[in-house]
Amino acid sequence: MTQRTPLMAGNWKMNLDHHQATHTLQKLAWTLKDAKHDYSAVEVAVFPPFTDLRSVQTLVDADKLQITYGAQDLSAHESGAYTGEISPAFLAKLGVTYALVGHSERREYHAESDALINKKVHSALKAGLVPILCVGEDLDTRRAAAHVQHTLLQLEAALADVTAEQVRTLVIAYEPVWAIGTGETATPEDAQEMSEAIRVRVGELYDAETAAAVRVLYGGSVKSSNVASIMAKPDVDGALVGGASLDPEEFAKIARFQAHEVGL
């Protein structure tokens, strides 16, 4: 059976300038070092604004940190007349490992379509970045009990022409929009229901090996107080954390969910 390393991904959204980013990252690294965190057991990544990435890279390299980092978005294009966009190749040069693709805030405030999200998945993969593909339903869709169908359609559209080999490296984040930044958390059972449905659909679209390899995260009001029960679910491989990742001590506790479970 494939061993999936849990991933705790902290999306800072449009918070923390490059000075604050350095300070926050340093504090996170110290806290995890004090706790003797084993990064091979739980991977920790941060997603700063674009303007922080060079400072983050400098700190990670200088202090040889094992924390990885990603971008919150990227362009579907490699270069050219696309004012304001950020090339995946430039991100790769900054040591970026991951790129969020199709976050619900991009879908909502920037009208990102499934077709554009599919292009961004391809552009990330082409540059050697790992896409964290975000999918999930809004409240009306959940109330209509159409959440599984809706989320799987988003998934299928985003994976068009993506190979099984590529999907095995991919991370998929299930984020019910109604649980983002609201304090409303989906129950661990909700998180499991959708993570399992995503894994089953990946198996149908590709094969069992691919389904077993792909990592599925849950996102939406994850905190140190609720992370362990969500992580106890068999198909949940980590969390995409917004607000709580801005506090390095709280985010370190989230990454240390296993230690808290046994009271260490």
What stretches of 67-205 show up as alpha helix (H) in DSSP? 88-93, 104-109, 114-126, 139-143, 147-158, 164-167, 188-205
Instruction: Spot the catalytic one: 103, 112, 147, 250.
Output: 103
Q: How far is the CB of 127 from ligand G3H (least distance, A)?
A: 21
Residues 6+ apart with CB under 8 A from 147: 137, 141, 176, 194
Contact 100, 141 (CB under 8 A): no
180 binds ligand G3H (CB under 6 A): yes
Q: Phi/psi at 10 (nearest 5 deg)?
A: -100, 105
Q: How far is the CB of 205 from ligand G3H (least distance, A)?
A: 25
241 binds ligand G3H (CB under 6 A): yes
240 binds ligand G3H (CB under 6 A): yes
| CA–CA distance, 135 with 99 (Å, rounded to integer) | 14
Which residues make up each annotated binding site for substrate?
11-13, 181, 221, 242-243
Q: Which range in 34-42, 123-131, 216-224, 230-238 contacts ligand G3H by CB under 6 A?
A: 216-224
- Helix (H) or strand (E) holding 22, with range, is helix 18-34
Residues 6+ apart with CB under 8 A from 145: none
136 binds ligand G3H (CB under 6 A): no
Q: How far is the CB of 187 from ligand G3H (least distance, A)?
A: 15
43 binds ligand G3H (CB under 6 A): no
Binding site for ligand G3H (CB under 6 A): 11, 175, 180-181, 219-222, 240-244
